Protein backbone atom coordinates (compact mmCIF):
# COMPACT_ATOMS: atom_id res chain seq x y z
CA UNK A 1 0.00 0.00 0.00
CA UNK A 2 1.37 3.44 -0.96
CA UNK A 3 2.42 5.94 1.67
CA UNK A 4 -0.19 8.42 0.37
CA UNK A 5 -2.97 5.88 0.90
CA UNK A 6 -1.74 5.09 4.41
CA UNK A 7 -1.46 8.79 5.27
CA UNK A 8 -4.97 9.56 4.01
CA UNK A 9 -6.41 6.55 5.87
CA UNK A 10 -4.81 7.65 9.16
CA UNK A 11 -5.97 11.25 8.66
CA UNK A 12 -9.52 10.17 7.77
CA UNK A 13 -9.74 7.94 10.85
CA UNK A 14 -8.51 10.76 13.09
CA UNK A 15 -11.05 13.23 11.66
CA UNK A 16 -13.89 10.74 12.08
CA UNK A 17 -12.99 10.08 15.72
CA UNK A 18 -12.56 13.78 16.55
CA UNK A 19 -15.90 14.71 15.03
CA UNK A 20 -17.53 11.77 16.83
CA UNK A 21 -16.95 13.62 20.12
CA UNK A 22 -14.30 11.13 21.27
CA UNK A 23 -11.85 12.72 23.72
CA UNK A 24 -8.90 14.13 21.79
CA UNK A 25 -6.33 12.11 23.78
CA UNK A 26 -8.24 8.86 23.34
CA UNK A 27 -8.75 9.56 19.62
CA UNK A 28 -4.99 9.97 19.16
CA UNK A 29 -4.24 6.72 21.00
CA UNK A 30 -6.89 4.78 19.03
CA UNK A 31 -5.59 6.06 15.69
CA UNK A 32 -2.06 5.04 16.67
CA UNK A 33 -3.15 1.55 17.76
CA UNK A 34 -5.26 0.90 14.65
CA UNK A 35 -2.60 2.28 12.30
CA UNK A 36 0.16 0.13 13.79
CA UNK A 37 -2.04 -2.98 13.80
CA UNK A 38 -3.23 -2.58 10.19
CA UNK A 39 -0.12 -1.36 8.41
CA UNK A 40 2.82 -2.83 10.37
CA UNK A 41 3.68 -6.09 12.07
CA UNK A 42 4.53 -4.37 15.35
CA UNK A 43 2.61 -5.16 18.55
CA UNK A 44 1.05 -1.76 19.49
CA UNK A 45 0.36 -2.15 23.22
CA UNK A 46 3.94 -2.64 24.40
CA UNK A 47 4.83 0.65 22.69
CA UNK A 48 1.81 2.30 24.32
CA UNK A 49 2.87 1.21 27.80
CA UNK A 50 6.34 2.71 27.39
CA UNK A 51 5.02 5.97 25.94
CA UNK A 52 2.40 6.46 28.66
CA UNK A 53 4.93 5.89 31.42
CA UNK A 54 7.81 7.95 29.99
CA UNK A 55 5.63 10.99 29.24
CA UNK A 56 3.61 11.02 32.47
CA UNK A 57 6.76 10.41 34.55
CA UNK A 58 8.72 13.33 33.08
CA UNK A 59 10.09 15.94 35.47
CA UNK A 60 9.40 18.64 32.88
CA UNK A 61 5.73 17.68 32.81
CA UNK A 62 5.53 18.42 36.53
CA UNK A 63 5.77 22.12 35.67
CA UNK A 64 2.42 21.94 33.87
CA UNK A 65 0.08 21.44 36.87
CA UNK A 66 2.14 23.94 38.87
CA UNK A 67 1.74 26.71 36.29
CA UNK A 68 -1.95 25.83 35.91
CA UNK A 69 -2.35 26.05 39.69
CA UNK A 70 -0.66 29.46 39.79
CA UNK A 71 -3.07 30.77 37.18
CA UNK A 72 -6.07 29.28 39.01
CA UNK A 73 -5.08 30.92 42.31
CA UNK A 74 -4.55 34.33 40.70
CA UNK A 75 -7.79 34.01 38.74
CA UNK A 76 -9.77 33.62 41.97
CA UNK A 77 -7.94 36.26 44.03
CA UNK A 78 -8.12 40.06 44.14
CA UNK A 79 -4.74 40.44 42.44
CA UNK A 80 -6.27 40.74 38.96
CA UNK A 81 -8.74 43.39 40.14
CA UNK A 82 -5.92 45.40 41.72
CA UNK A 83 -3.99 45.10 38.47
CA UNK A 84 -6.65 47.09 36.59
CA UNK A 85 -6.87 49.72 39.34
CA UNK A 86 -3.11 50.10 39.24
CA UNK A 87 -2.85 50.37 35.46
CA UNK A 88 -5.74 52.82 34.90
CA UNK A 89 -3.86 55.94 36.13
CA UNK A 90 -0.70 54.94 34.23
CA UNK A 91 -2.56 54.51 30.91
CA UNK A 92 -4.81 57.57 31.22
CA UNK A 93 -2.45 59.97 29.37
CA UNK A 94 -2.01 57.84 26.23
CA UNK A 95 -4.27 58.26 23.19
CA UNK A 96 -6.86 55.55 23.76
CA UNK A 97 -6.63 55.95 27.51
CA UNK A 98 -8.13 53.00 29.41
CA UNK A 99 -8.40 50.76 26.33
CA UNK A 100 -4.67 50.17 26.83
CA UNK A 101 -5.46 48.46 30.14
CA UNK A 102 -6.85 45.57 28.06
CA UNK A 103 -3.48 45.10 26.40
CA UNK A 104 -1.10 45.80 29.28
CA UNK A 105 -3.17 43.90 31.87
CA UNK A 106 -3.43 40.91 29.51
CA UNK A 107 0.33 40.98 28.92
CA UNK A 108 1.11 41.10 32.64
CA UNK A 109 -1.48 38.53 33.66
CA UNK A 110 -0.36 36.22 30.84
CA UNK A 111 3.10 36.24 32.41
CA UNK A 112 1.76 34.52 35.53
CA UNK A 113 -1.08 32.50 34.00
CA UNK A 114 -0.18 30.50 30.88
CA UNK A 115 -3.69 30.28 29.41
CA UNK A 116 -5.29 32.44 26.73
CA UNK A 117 -8.87 31.79 27.81
CA UNK A 118 -8.07 32.44 31.49
CA UNK A 119 -6.26 35.69 30.61
CA UNK A 120 -9.15 36.91 28.47
CA UNK A 121 -11.74 35.95 31.08
CA UNK A 122 -9.87 37.48 34.03
CA UNK A 123 -8.99 40.76 32.35
CA UNK A 124 -12.28 41.09 30.45
CA UNK A 125 -14.37 40.47 33.56
CA UNK A 126 -12.81 43.59 35.10
CA UNK A 127 -12.13 45.91 32.14
CA UNK A 128 -15.21 45.42 29.91
CA UNK A 129 -17.83 46.72 32.40
CA UNK A 130 -15.61 49.73 33.20
CA UNK A 131 -14.99 50.57 29.53
CA UNK A 132 -18.67 50.19 28.64
CA UNK A 133 -19.72 52.37 31.58
CA UNK A 134 -17.31 55.13 30.48
CA UNK A 135 -18.52 55.09 26.86
CA UNK A 136 -15.45 53.64 25.14
CA UNK A 137 -15.74 52.19 21.64
CA UNK A 138 -17.28 48.73 21.83
CA UNK A 139 -15.47 47.51 18.72
CA UNK A 140 -12.08 48.77 19.89
CA UNK A 141 -12.52 47.48 23.45
CA UNK A 142 -13.62 43.96 22.48
CA UNK A 143 -11.24 43.69 19.52
CA UNK A 144 -8.16 44.58 21.56
CA UNK A 145 -9.21 42.28 24.41
CA UNK A 146 -9.59 39.39 21.96
CA UNK A 147 -6.13 40.01 20.51
CA UNK A 148 -4.30 40.77 23.75
CA UNK A 149 -5.91 37.80 25.50
CA UNK A 150 -4.14 35.44 23.10
CA UNK A 151 -0.82 36.50 24.67
CA UNK A 152 -1.60 34.01 27.43
CA UNK A 153 -0.13 31.37 25.11
CA UNK A 154 2.94 33.35 23.97
CA UNK A 155 4.14 35.09 27.13
CA UNK A 156 5.71 32.53 29.48
CA UNK A 157 4.82 30.49 31.39
CA UNK A 158 2.78 28.98 28.57
CA UNK A 159 1.06 25.61 28.67
CA UNK A 160 1.29 25.44 24.87
CA UNK A 161 5.06 25.87 25.02
CA UNK A 162 5.30 23.18 27.68
CA UNK A 163 3.43 20.73 25.46
CA UNK A 164 5.44 21.66 22.37
CA UNK A 165 8.72 21.39 24.27
CA UNK A 166 7.80 17.92 25.53
CA UNK A 167 6.77 16.62 22.11
CA UNK A 168 9.51 18.29 20.05
CA UNK A 169 12.29 17.68 22.61
CA UNK A 170 13.05 21.41 22.78
CA UNK A 171 14.18 23.24 25.94
CA UNK A 172 11.09 24.64 27.65
CA UNK A 173 13.14 27.37 29.32
CA UNK A 174 14.47 28.55 25.96
CA UNK A 175 10.95 28.47 24.49
CA UNK A 176 9.75 30.66 27.35
CA UNK A 177 12.44 33.26 26.73
CA UNK A 178 12.07 33.02 22.95
CA UNK A 179 8.46 34.17 23.16
CA UNK A 180 9.26 37.48 24.87
CA UNK A 181 10.27 39.62 21.86
CA UNK A 182 7.41 38.37 19.61
CA UNK A 183 4.97 39.03 22.47
CA UNK A 184 6.38 42.55 22.85
CA UNK A 185 5.98 43.12 19.10
CA UNK A 186 2.32 42.05 19.25
CA UNK A 187 1.55 44.10 22.38
CA UNK A 188 3.22 47.22 20.91
CA UNK A 189 1.39 46.64 17.63
CA UNK A 190 -1.96 46.51 19.41
CA UNK A 191 -1.19 49.63 21.47
CA UNK A 192 0.05 51.47 18.38
CA UNK A 193 -3.14 50.59 16.52
CA UNK A 194 -5.28 51.88 19.40
CA UNK A 195 -3.34 55.17 19.57
CA UNK A 196 -3.59 55.77 15.82
CA UNK A 197 -7.33 55.04 15.78
CA UNK A 198 -7.98 57.31 18.76
CA UNK A 199 -5.86 60.15 17.35
CA UNK A 200 -7.90 59.98 14.15
CA UNK A 201 -11.21 59.69 16.04
CA UNK A 202 -10.96 60.89 19.67
CA UNK A 203 -14.59 59.94 20.32
CA UNK A 204 -13.53 56.27 20.47
CA UNK A 205 -11.92 56.97 23.87
CA UNK A 206 -13.93 59.76 25.55
CA UNK A 207 -12.34 62.02 28.13
CA UNK A 208 -13.07 60.70 31.61
CA UNK A 209 -11.64 61.07 35.05
CA UNK A 210 -8.18 62.58 35.32
CA UNK A 211 -5.38 61.18 37.47
CA UNK A 212 -2.71 63.15 39.28
CA UNK A 213 0.92 62.19 39.86
CA UNK A 214 -0.09 61.18 43.37
CA UNK A 215 -2.70 58.78 41.93
CA UNK A 216 -0.02 57.25 39.71
CA UNK A 217 2.35 56.80 42.64
CA UNK A 218 -0.39 55.16 44.70
CA UNK A 219 -1.23 52.86 41.78
CA UNK A 220 2.23 51.29 41.53
CA UNK A 221 1.93 49.05 44.63
CA UNK A 222 -1.22 47.50 43.15
CA UNK A 223 0.66 46.04 40.21
CA UNK A 224 3.69 45.08 42.31
CA UNK A 225 2.59 41.47 43.12
CA UNK A 226 2.29 40.56 39.44
CA UNK A 227 5.60 42.24 38.59
CA UNK A 228 7.36 40.40 41.44
CA UNK A 229 5.98 37.04 40.28
CA UNK A 230 7.11 37.73 36.71
CA UNK A 231 10.62 38.67 37.82
CA UNK A 232 10.95 35.67 40.14
CA UNK A 233 9.57 33.06 37.72
CA UNK A 234 11.11 34.24 34.45
CA UNK A 235 14.24 35.74 35.97
CA UNK A 236 15.18 32.50 37.71
CA UNK A 237 14.74 30.55 34.46
CA UNK A 238 16.65 33.06 32.33
CA UNK A 239 19.53 33.31 34.80
CA UNK A 240 19.83 29.54 34.99
CA UNK A 241 19.08 29.48 38.72
CA UNK A 242 16.01 27.26 38.35
CA UNK A 243 14.43 24.84 35.92
CA UNK A 244 10.90 25.66 34.68
CA UNK A 245 9.54 23.13 37.20
CA UNK A 246 11.37 24.75 40.12
CA UNK A 247 10.35 28.23 38.98
CA UNK A 248 6.73 27.07 38.74
CA UNK A 249 6.83 25.84 42.33
CA UNK A 250 8.16 29.21 43.47
CA UNK A 251 5.44 30.93 41.44
CA UNK A 252 2.71 28.87 43.12
CA UNK A 253 4.09 29.74 46.54
CA UNK A 254 4.27 33.43 45.64
CA UNK A 255 0.72 33.51 44.27
CA UNK A 256 -0.60 31.89 47.46
CA UNK A 257 1.31 34.39 49.63
CA UNK A 258 -0.01 37.39 47.70
CA UNK A 259 -3.56 36.00 47.62
CA UNK A 260 -3.55 35.47 51.38
CA UNK A 261 -1.98 38.89 51.94
CA UNK A 262 -4.93 40.52 50.13
CA UNK A 263 -7.35 38.23 52.02
CA UNK A 264 -9.06 37.33 48.77
CA UNK A 265 -8.54 33.55 48.74
CA UNK A 266 -11.20 31.84 50.83
CA UNK A 267 -11.15 28.11 51.55
CA UNK A 268 -13.93 27.62 48.95
CA UNK A 269 -11.93 29.51 46.30
CA UNK A 270 -8.85 27.46 47.15
CA UNK A 271 -10.77 24.19 46.65
CA UNK A 272 -12.13 25.49 43.33
CA UNK A 273 -8.58 26.32 42.26
CA UNK A 274 -7.43 22.80 43.13
CA UNK A 275 -10.32 21.21 41.23
CA UNK A 276 -9.61 23.41 38.21
CA UNK A 277 -5.94 22.46 38.34
CA UNK A 278 -6.70 18.73 38.40
CA UNK A 279 -9.23 18.95 35.54
CA UNK A 280 -7.05 21.07 33.26
CA UNK A 281 -3.83 19.15 33.97
CA UNK A 282 -5.51 15.77 33.43
CA UNK A 283 -6.95 16.91 30.11
CA UNK A 284 -3.60 18.21 28.86
CA UNK A 285 -1.67 15.14 30.08
CA UNK A 286 -4.02 12.77 28.26
CA UNK A 287 -3.62 14.78 25.05
CA UNK A 288 0.17 14.90 25.38
CA UNK A 289 0.55 11.16 25.98
CA UNK A 290 -1.87 10.41 23.14
CA UNK A 291 0.07 12.69 20.83
CA UNK A 292 3.38 11.12 21.82
CA UNK A 293 2.03 7.66 21.03
CA UNK A 294 0.59 8.80 17.68
CA UNK A 295 3.95 10.37 16.80
CA UNK A 296 5.72 7.05 17.40
CA UNK A 297 3.04 5.18 15.45
CA UNK A 298 3.36 7.54 12.49
CA UNK A 299 7.11 7.01 12.63
CA UNK A 300 6.58 3.23 12.35
CA UNK A 301 4.35 3.90 9.33
CA UNK A 302 7.24 5.86 7.73
CA UNK A 303 4.96 8.82 7.00
CA UNK A 304 7.23 11.72 8.17
CA UNK A 305 10.29 10.49 6.27
CA UNK A 306 8.28 9.89 3.10
CA UNK A 307 6.58 13.29 3.20
CA UNK A 308 9.88 15.03 3.92
CA UNK A 309 11.47 13.28 0.94
CA UNK A 310 8.48 14.25 -1.24
CA UNK A 311 8.72 17.93 -0.26
CA UNK A 312 12.46 17.94 -0.96
CA UNK A 313 11.95 16.30 -4.35
CA UNK A 314 9.28 18.87 -5.28
CA UNK A 315 11.79 21.63 -4.58
CA UNK A 316 9.51 23.66 -2.27
CA UNK A 317 11.44 26.61 -0.83
CA UNK A 318 11.63 27.28 2.91
CA UNK A 319 9.38 30.35 2.74
CA UNK A 320 6.94 28.60 0.44
CA UNK A 321 6.75 25.85 3.05
CA UNK A 322 5.91 28.42 5.76
CA UNK A 323 3.13 29.85 3.57
CA UNK A 324 1.69 26.36 3.01
CA UNK A 325 1.85 25.54 6.73
CA UNK A 326 0.32 28.91 7.65
CA UNK A 327 -2.66 28.32 5.38
CA UNK A 328 -3.05 24.82 6.83
CA UNK A 329 -2.96 26.12 10.42
CA UNK A 330 -5.47 28.88 9.65
CA UNK A 331 -7.87 26.28 8.25
CA UNK A 332 -7.32 23.93 11.19
CA UNK A 333 -7.80 26.85 13.59
CA UNK A 334 -11.37 27.24 12.36
CA UNK A 335 -12.14 23.72 13.58
CA UNK A 336 -9.73 22.73 16.38
CA UNK A 337 -8.32 24.15 19.61
CA UNK A 338 -4.62 24.73 20.15
CA UNK A 339 -3.53 21.49 21.81
CA UNK A 340 -5.18 19.45 19.06
CA UNK A 341 -3.44 21.54 16.40
CA UNK A 342 -0.04 20.85 17.95
CA UNK A 343 -0.45 17.13 18.48
CA UNK A 344 -2.09 16.45 15.10
CA UNK A 345 0.44 18.29 12.96
CA UNK A 346 3.76 18.15 14.81
CA UNK A 347 4.78 14.61 13.75
CA UNK A 348 4.49 15.70 10.10
CA UNK A 349 5.37 19.39 10.22
CA UNK A 350 8.48 19.27 12.41
CA UNK A 351 10.57 17.01 10.12
CA UNK A 352 9.68 19.26 7.17
CA UNK A 353 10.68 22.38 9.11
CA UNK A 354 14.02 20.87 10.20
CA UNK A 355 14.72 19.66 6.65
CA UNK A 356 14.03 23.19 5.36
CA UNK A 357 16.65 24.60 7.73
CA UNK A 358 14.46 26.22 10.39
CA UNK A 359 15.28 25.94 14.09
CA UNK A 360 12.76 23.76 16.03
CA UNK A 361 12.77 26.39 18.79
CA UNK A 362 11.79 29.08 16.27
CA UNK A 363 9.06 26.81 14.92
CA UNK A 364 7.63 26.43 18.42
CA UNK A 365 7.11 30.22 18.71
CA UNK A 366 5.72 30.38 15.18
CA UNK A 367 3.29 27.58 15.99
CA UNK A 368 2.12 29.27 19.21
CA UNK A 369 1.33 32.49 17.28
CA UNK A 370 -0.62 30.46 14.71
CA UNK A 371 -2.59 28.95 17.60
CA UNK A 372 -3.22 32.48 18.87
CA UNK A 373 -4.69 33.31 15.48
CA UNK A 374 -6.97 30.29 15.88
CA UNK A 375 -8.34 31.89 19.06
CA UNK A 376 -9.77 34.67 16.87
CA UNK A 377 -11.32 32.62 14.07
CA UNK A 378 -14.90 31.32 14.24
CA UNK A 379 -16.49 28.88 14.72
CA UNK A 380 -13.96 27.51 17.28
CA UNK A 381 -12.34 30.74 18.49
CA UNK A 382 -12.21 30.34 22.26
CA UNK A 383 -11.43 34.00 22.96
CA UNK A 384 -14.49 34.96 20.94
CA UNK A 385 -16.67 32.67 23.05
CA UNK A 386 -15.20 34.06 26.28
CA UNK A 387 -15.90 37.67 25.28
CA UNK A 388 -19.36 36.70 24.02
CA UNK A 389 -20.11 35.23 27.43
CA UNK A 390 -18.86 38.39 29.15
CA UNK A 391 -20.70 40.89 26.97
CA UNK A 392 -23.67 39.07 25.45
CA UNK A 393 -22.55 39.92 21.91
CA UNK A 394 -22.69 37.22 19.25
CA UNK A 395 -19.48 35.50 18.19
CA UNK A 396 -19.50 36.74 14.57
CA UNK A 397 -19.76 40.38 15.68
CA UNK A 398 -16.81 39.94 18.05
CA UNK A 399 -14.86 38.19 15.28
CA UNK A 400 -15.42 41.26 13.09
CA UNK A 401 -14.17 43.51 15.90
CA UNK A 402 -11.07 41.29 16.22
CA UNK A 403 -10.01 41.57 12.55
CA UNK A 404 -7.37 44.29 13.25
CA UNK A 405 -5.91 42.13 16.03
CA UNK A 406 -5.86 39.18 13.63
CA UNK A 407 -3.93 41.24 11.08
CA UNK A 408 -1.43 42.44 13.73
CA UNK A 409 -0.74 38.83 14.82
CA UNK A 410 -0.36 37.83 11.15
CA UNK A 411 2.16 40.64 10.69
CA UNK A 412 4.08 39.30 13.72
CA UNK A 413 4.32 35.90 11.99
CA UNK A 414 5.76 37.56 8.88
CA UNK A 415 8.25 39.57 10.97
CA UNK A 416 9.67 36.60 12.91
CA UNK A 417 9.84 34.57 9.68
CA UNK A 418 11.88 37.31 7.98
CA UNK A 419 13.99 37.91 11.10
CA UNK A 420 14.24 34.64 13.08
CA UNK A 421 16.92 36.20 15.32
CA UNK A 422 14.07 38.04 17.09
CA UNK A 423 13.09 34.65 18.51
CA UNK A 424 16.52 33.09 18.92
CA UNK A 425 18.58 35.99 20.33
CA UNK A 426 17.68 35.65 24.03
CA UNK A 427 17.61 31.81 24.09
CA UNK A 428 21.14 31.77 22.67
CA UNK A 429 22.31 33.90 25.61
CA UNK A 430 20.88 31.57 28.24
CA UNK A 431 23.13 29.66 30.60
Helix/strand/coil (H, E, C) string of 351-405?
Answer: HHHHHCCCCHHHHHHHHHHHHHHHCCCCCCCHHHHHHHHHHCCCHHHHHHHCHHH
Per the CB < 8 A criterion, the answer to whether 265 and 257 are in contact is: no
- The dihedral region occupied by 96, where left means phi > 0, alpha psi between -120 and 50, and beta the remainder, is left
Q: How far apart are CA 353 and CA 414, in angstroms?
A: 16
Q: Print pLDDT tens along the chain (431 aa).
A: 666 677 778 778 877 876 777 776 788 788 878 877 877 766 667 666 676 766 666 666 677 787 778 777 877 777 767 777 788 788 878 888 888 888 988 888 777 776 777 778 777 877 888 788 888 888 999 999 999 988 888 887 787 888 888 888 898 888 988 998 999 999 999 999 999 999 999 888 887 666 667 777 777 777 787 788 878 877 777 777 777 778 778 888 888 888 887 777 778 888 888 888 888 777 767 776 776 777 677 777 777 667 666 666 666 778 888 998 888 888 777 766 677 778 777 877 888 888 888 999 999 999 999 988 888 887 667 778 778 877 888 888 888 999 999 999 999 999 999 999 999 998 888 75
Residue 383 main-chain phi, psi, to 5 deg: -65, -35
With a threshold of 0.85, does the pTM exceed it?
no
Amino acid sequence: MSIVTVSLAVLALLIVLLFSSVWVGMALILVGIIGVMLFTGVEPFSILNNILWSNSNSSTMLALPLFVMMGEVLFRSRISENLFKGLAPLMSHLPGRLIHTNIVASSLFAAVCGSSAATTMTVGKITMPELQKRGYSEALSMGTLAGAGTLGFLIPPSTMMLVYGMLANVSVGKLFIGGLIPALIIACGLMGYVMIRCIIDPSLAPQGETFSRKDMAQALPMILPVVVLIVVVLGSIYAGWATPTEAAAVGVFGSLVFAMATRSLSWEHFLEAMKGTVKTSSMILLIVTGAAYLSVAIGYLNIPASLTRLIVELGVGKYQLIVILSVMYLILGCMLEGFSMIVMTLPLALPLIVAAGFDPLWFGIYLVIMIELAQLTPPVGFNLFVISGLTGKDVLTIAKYAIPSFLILSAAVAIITAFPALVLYFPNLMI
